Every structure is written in structure tokens, then in C-alpha cells.
Amino acid sequence: MSMLVYCSVCRTPLQLPPGATTICCADCHATTRIPETRTAPPPYLPSAYNNYYHGQKKAIIIGILYKNQERELRGCINDANHMKDMLIHSFNFTESSIFMLTEEETDPCKIPTKHNIMKAMSWLVDGCKLGDSLVFYFSGHGDQQWNDTGDEIDNYDETLLPLDHKTQGLIVDNDINDIIVKPLPAGVKLHAIIDACCSGTMLDLPYLCKMERSGRHSWEDHSPPSGAWKGTSGGEVISISGCADHQYSDDNIDTSEAMKHAGEMTCAFIQAIEKGQGATYGSLLNAMRSTIATREKKQEPQLTCNHKFDVDMKPFSL
């Protein structure tokens, strides 16, 4: 089975063939040597750095319509623009700290191809340090594919569909975990906000929050049966997604001009923030689920993390 590594010079993600100890980068042509042994990263430190999240903020925002393809979407670029505005006005991100990838971009490096998305993910975590707050946002198609390696409890990998997925393939949850989860150092937090189908465990994080209608919650262990490491190098990763792995994310039917043609999950997320319902992770998740339930949608936003915590007590912030 191939392994994801990074070019030692330009940091481009590369697929290392089984058994190979070196690989040549197609971008810069540098040769990267792979160590024979890889040690597991240290465990997450749940409280030592909680008061030091005042560093750099960085985000990548991806919105894909898949124009002129079989399953063309309508609201994903609107989603991306709404999310960018919210990060700037509600969470003090600067415009220069947000890297946008949509079909409307004129820079070829910002078109949401598989190569560009994976390179942007590498940029997001590259050089991150104590106090940094990172955001990965995706609005587009998600799917599942069969996995027989023992990495998945349900035997399915979750996948994101880049613009060129028909020729370049899917972005698999294992790749996302390798790029933005495993390298994350202590004192850095990353939020993934994913408005896509089959997105419940898109980052392959070990713990899924099971929220009852009453608001009570418990944590379900989704660690790979194979024993593969899916945690971080000490940092904190929290994913908020549009639905469970077996569900589909829908478009919003709100007729207001502000949120016309946008994803249901993205609308519910932004609405909860604007109404002051995002004080804690528990209140945010409950508000999102309640909003979507009133519209009779068959999707339930999910929360996963690399560690367990009290969702009703932990303040939400980006």
C-alpha cells in the first residue's frame, strides 16, 4: 500500500510506492529520502496549552460546483464566500491569511484540483507553532469507497471529490489525516468544517461525539481495528461535518437572499454563530441539528476529535 510523504524541498504531497525508500518530486525534481522507521507521535496534551491559543490564524476555504459535470452543484462557491466573511468578521482572520480555492479563481494554483488542494493542505500546517489556529473548510461532493485494510470500522473510507476527480482520483480520508492531522504539534488547534455527503469521519479522527436529542452526549471510539495511528503530534483537531458517513448533505431551501443557494450545513453553522448559539461545542452542534431538523432534512451534523472532552463546557472558538 502506498504512503503519503512530502517533498523535502517544496513540500508537495507525494505518493510513495510500497517498499520505496526515495521519491523524486514532479514539481521541483528534488529527491526525498524516507527514513526506515517512523515513531508514533506523542499523545495529545489536553490542558497544558489551553490558554495559549493567541498565535497565527490560517485557513483554506474550498468551494466546488463541478460545472458541466454530471452532478453539478449550485451553492458551494456561495458557501466558501460566506465562510470567508464569517472568519474575517467574527473570528478576526485577515484576508491575507485565507487561501481560497474555487472555480472562479483566476490563479491556476487556486483552482480546486486534487494537486492544488493537497498542496494547500500542506501549506496550512507548514510551520505551525504554539498558539496557532487553523481552519480547513470544504463545500462540495463527498463519497465513500471500499477499504479492506482494517483501517475502518465500517470498512469504508470517506473521500472528498476535487474538481478533476474523474482523471486524478479522489482525496481519501487517510491522505487528509496524513497531511493535516498527524503533523500537528502541541499547542496548535485545527478545525475542519466540511459540508459534503458521507463526511462524518472525513478526517479519520479517533473519537465521534454521539449526541442524543436530549442534548446528552457520549464518545464513540472510532480507532482503526488495525491499530494504525490516527492522532496528532500533540495538537488538537476538531471536525464539524454536515452529516454522518451514511448520510447525504443537502442544499438550503432558505429563500433569503443572504443565504440563497448555499449548503444546509454551512447555513446552519453560520446562523448558529450569528445568533450567539456557539458558546460551546455542545450548544453549536445542538443549534445546527435543530435548525436542520426544522427543515425536515435527513442529515445530522457530526463532531469528531482526536481526544475526548466535555462538549457542554468547552468554549467554541476558531
Q: How many domains does the chain have?
A: 2
Active-site entry in 141, 165, 191, 222: 141
Q: What mean pLDDT comes out for the span 5-21?
A: 69
Cβ-contact 302, 249 below 8 angstroms: no
β-pairing, 98-102 with 142-146? Answer: unpaired
Number of helices and strands (H, E) in the chain?
A: 6, 15
Q: Are residue 94 and residue 194 in the same domain, yes or no? A: yes
Residue 21 lies in a domain: yes
Q: Are residue 65 and residue 11 in the same domain, yes or no? A: no
Split at pLDDT 50, 70, 90, the class of 66 is: very high
Residue 312 lies in a domain: no
Which set of grid coordinates corresponds to residue 133?
Answer: 489556529
How high is the pLDDT of residue 307?
94
Q: Are residue 275 and residue 205 in the same domain, yes or no? A: yes
Residue 202 lies in a domain: yes
Q: Are residue 146 and residue 279 in the same domain, yes or no? A: yes
Residue 311 lies in a domain: no
In this structure, what CATH number is given to the domain that contains residue 171?
A: 3.40.50.12660
Q: Which of 32-60 are b and which e, b meaning 16 or more Cβ less than 10 Å from the residue's Cβ?
A: beeeeeeeebeebeeeebeeebeeebbbb
How high is the pLDDT of residue 39?
44
Residue 53 has pLDDT above 70, yes or no: no
Which set of grid coordinates corresponds to residue 106?
Answer: 483566476
Residue 27: count of CB within 10 angstroms of its CB: 13
β-pairing, 236-241 with 189-195? Answer: parallel
Cβ-contact 158, 201 below 8 angstroms: yes
Q: Are residue 172 and residue 294 in the same domain, yes or no? A: yes
* Ranges assigned E (strand) in 35-132: 57-63, 98-102
Split at pLDDT 50, 70, 90, the class of 107 is: very high
Which set of grid coordinates corresponds to residue 233?
Answer: 503530534
Q: How far apart are CA 218 and CA 208, in angstroms?
A: 8
Catalytic residue at 197? yes
How high is the pLDDT of residue 220?
93
How high is the pLDDT of residue 265?
92
Q: Are residue 25 and residue 74 in the same domain, yes or no? A: no
Q: What mean pLDDT comes out for the span 35-43?
A: 47
Q: Which amino acid is at 48?
A: A
How high is the pLDDT of residue 62?
98
Q: How far apart are CA 195 and CA 63, in angstroms?
A: 10
Q: How far apart are CA 285 and CA 216, in angstroms?
A: 12
Catalytic residue at 217? no
Active-site entry in 128, 197, 243, 267: 197
Residue 277 has pLDDT above 70, yes or no: yes
Residue 313 lies in a domain: no
Domain containing 181 equals 45-305
Cβ-contact 6, 16 below 8 angstroms: no
SS3 state at 4: strand
Q: Are residue 247 and residue 102 in the same domain, yes or no? A: yes
**Per residue in 144-195, pLDDT tens?**
999 877 788 888 899 999 999 999 999 999 999 999 999 999 999 999 999 9
Q: Are residue 118 and residue 217 in the same domain, yes or no? A: yes
Q: Are residue 60 and residue 142 in the same domain, yes or no? A: yes
Look at the pTM and tell me if it is higher than 0.75.
Answer: yes
Residue 260 has pLDDT above 90, yes or no: no
Residue 51 has pLDDT above 50, yes or no: no
Q: How far apart are CA 17 and CA 20, in angstroms?
A: 6
Residue 219 has pLDDT above 50, yes or no: yes
Q: How far apart are CA 189 and CA 180, in angstroms?
A: 11
DSSP string, 142-172: EEEEE--SS--TTSEEEEE--TTHHHH--EE
Closest by alpha carbon to 42, among 187, 172, 249? Answer: 187
The average confidence (pLDDT) of the chain is 85
Q: How far apart are CA 104 and CA 135, in angstroms?
A: 21
Q: Are residue 145 and residue 240 in the same domain, yes or no? A: yes
Which residues, listed in sequence order, are joined to residue 59 by a DSSP beta bridge?
98, 135
Split at pLDDT 50, 70, 90, the class of 257 is: low
